[in-house]
Chains A and B, each alone.
Chain A
Amino acid sequence: MKILVPVKRVVDYNIKPRVKADGSGVETAGVKMSMNPFDEIAVEEAVRLREKGAASEVVVVSIGVQQAQDTLRTAMAMGADRAILVLSDESPEPLAVAKVLKTLVEKEGPSLVVLGKQAIDDDMNATGQMLAGLLGWGQGTFASKVDVADGRVVVSREIDGGTEQVSLALPAIVTADLRLNEPRYASLPNIMKAKKKPLETIAAADLGVDMAPRLSIVSVAEPAERKAGIKLGSATELVEKLRNEAKVI
């Protein structure tokens, strides 16, 4: 079977984001960009399924600007077989992304789509669920374990009070949580090999999908700063402060 893995280029998770002075968004010019960490986990899981013989091909896809091809090359260096870049100017909303992905699913015919559970820039946590809805497929979100057998996928899901298992008929959607696996590093030889793997580019405009945003940004602001705290010398002092100054105990 074929596995499709959507990946997103985002501001690197180690960078502290800065809000633009005009309040229109977060500064991304000249900032280090990387693959969304949850998407690395999704790529790793897909590659492991292929290595176990449960899948025959792993196709990665990204929707965004030309530089997103770096993200796709990284995914191919991790083991993905080929890549598709859907070129689009703006960073589209999950609804538009899900619609674009639906057209690619119909074209590529994967049995499984593995996504990250959320992107660390917009923190939406929606694209996988929306794609599953549009396709009428089952969804195994926040996956910490994935087993494919007998035309079904059994997914262990991280829920609020513990873990739950659901069984889904294939084709299906899985979204990766942090504990699903530890993504591998791309070795130098694999990075070189990835440069020769096929990367197809499609213009989003050619897919006939309405990409217009439904949410308009009124403003983006820094959260309120916490006022500077104080260092104390002892537990006695701390309990006294918590009782008499902060009055929380």
Chain B
Amino acid sequence: MIHLPHIDHDRRRRAGDEDNDWYYKRRRTVPEKTEAEVHLEFLISRIGEKSGSSMESNLENLAQSLETYLITDIDRIIDIIIECVCYLTEEVTAYSTLVGLLNSKKQKFGSELLHQLLEVLQKKLISADFIHALHIVTFLADLVNCHVVSSSSLVEFFESFMEAACEECIPQVRSDWFVYAVLHSLPWAGPELNDREKEPLDNLLEGVDKYMLERNTSHAKLLQVWSAMEHEQEEYLDSLWTQISKLRDDGWVERHISRYYIAFDGSLAGAVTHNLPLFSPPPHTSVMVYPLPTVVFRFFDYADCPDGGPVLPGAHSVERFLIEEELCSIIENNCYNRKECAAQLVSYRKKTMVPINYMILETIFSQLLRLPHSPLRPLFYGSLMIELCKMKNMPQVIAQAAELFYQRIDTMQLECIDRLIDWFSYHLSNFEYRWSWIDWDDCLDLNDYAPKRYFVKEVIEKCMRFSYHERICDCLPSSFEEITPEKPSISFLVNQEEQSVKKLVAEVERAFHNKTEPKKLTELLRGFNQKDSGLTTLSIFFAVMLNAAQKSFSHNFAALARYHETLKELSDINDESSMALLRTLYNVWKHNRQMMVVLITKMLRMTLVSANAAVFWLLSNVDQELHRLFLASLNFWLWEALFIVIKYACGHANRCKKKFQQMQEKRVRMDRNDGEAYQNFCCNEEENSLGVVLDDDIEEKRKELEELQEMLKNLFLNVLHKLVVFLSEHLVKYETAGRNYDTYWYRYMMGRFKEILLRYWHELFEMKKDIDKELFVTAGIDPRILEVYCQFTALRA
């Protein structure tokens, strides 16, 4: 299984998603298809659908049907087949067989198809659509079995990929993709090449072996779900190379690929093969983004599956790889419809040959837990598994998986544990929170930062947010009381010993009760401000306001909106006010984590709190020894809040960048048009709301963007610096005392360090020079910390 990862926000975006009138545009711009074209699409794209006849019979009939179209619609047929190949990976051999039959009827068809395939491949590579490019390469490889592509030219094609991989001054991730594409194709083409081109094939594989030996895999440690496990978490290219090597040792015999073309040996043998045209991959440019490396997720082996059922293919068998590839393709093609996705997974064509429930779950978790990011939103996997629970036997396998995760959680990456917490709590909320909690009571004997205890505690916290405190307590054994969150509550503890404070509190409460105008309240408070420090007045006012609005989120939001100006007036320009507000918020709501988290989010958006100040305050609390030892739940909340702040800051900078780019693009278009033509063009422009773009506007937006990027850079430098300091101090202290530094706390904080690097890898790479210079060039950095950072930089090396 290797489903090359790609940036998820690009991945899920569909053309016109955010256009205001995309629906009407779509209807206007899609050209009308002729009846013949619709018929062709229907015939060709439904090739794999279930029918009473065999696939071979369907293919023969289809080839005969299409023969009459080969004269008039050859281009359309080629386009449709290429489109099918890009999307339907599990049908690649059906389409290659079809192409072989059509080529045997009309030689020109094969020749034109190959030219078009390479042209599309070139375009896919230029547009960084590496998944579809991979499917095309695999299809080309399989055409060698159908007497469409000559075996010698296929080997030359692969050699050109290896040459591209061995270029100098290119990132390893670029080279990796070309090697991966070659290896990925060999399960299909290997047998034929071994028969006809043994020596060139051996030379090719020798080149691969040499490449693999010289390749840097330091990134793998950072991407492994588990740092130590009975099932090795292998780097994806190493894993595939091992699988291909085993396939070669087995004489290129595998038991998975449906080779329909074997049934047509008689027809195909007489066909004229074509040489592949010369192909040169597009050159590397600095803006090109290649798929990140990944690590193969392994979770089950045959011993986990029921006796008497089909045997799970071994981790190093190519069958395991091919099945997971096809299941990933099903998920990708159905990611907008969880019911259809579940139905197609369960009815997977080769479901009787493998323990399908285990393969499906392993594939889903491999995506959910993929580092740095899952390809789809985690919620989708959660709802997909709920849908799968409606299928026979699947609930038991999911429960088995949850149990296995718990047993293996000690060495699991913290980022993956956080995703598991969100998944499992969501899953339980759909099944009345029924779980054999008592089976997990061994976590109660562990340190607060031990992964098992952290996991169970946080799952319960999230379950409580989906429901309420009493309900969750009823579901838990009494022994779990010590890790059950306290009942959410408010603590309003303004110290009213001073007379002036007492008076202020009374005045503010009266003002709220009387629904005093915010302006008047502001004036009242300003009067108090003169007698006392501004921050005290601000803190007291905020505390009273939070207390008055305690009933619900909406009451709090309404209060923040109503008194937004008041809070702004009382706040200084500097960050002291932000920290005063956060301190007050914590003091009032420290017994309700969800309220704190939601209010921080809202206050960021309302610019009552600055992101950098929030980060500083949160980290200063992480630092305190007392909190570290006695208030683990405080630490957990601080990190939840910290990730919210960082996510907000990144989102803010990204939105500004996007707006700036839109303005620039519009300006360029404006310069290319004049007068009336531009006006007409402008009326239909999706960015009409931007109005006429002036140079001054662009310059102003550029400055805003630069400020935001500077703010973001400072934020990350602050976070990373603090983490390095925490870890360094811990290491020095423990080694000076002669104690083992590898404590649960250390693993937890190292996990957070990795989590920051993984979650924000994209932003961090953009500011990598600054981070290197200011943080990691220092000679004093402990090698254990530096090693993790080097693993991070290797992601795009």
Chain B binds chain A: no
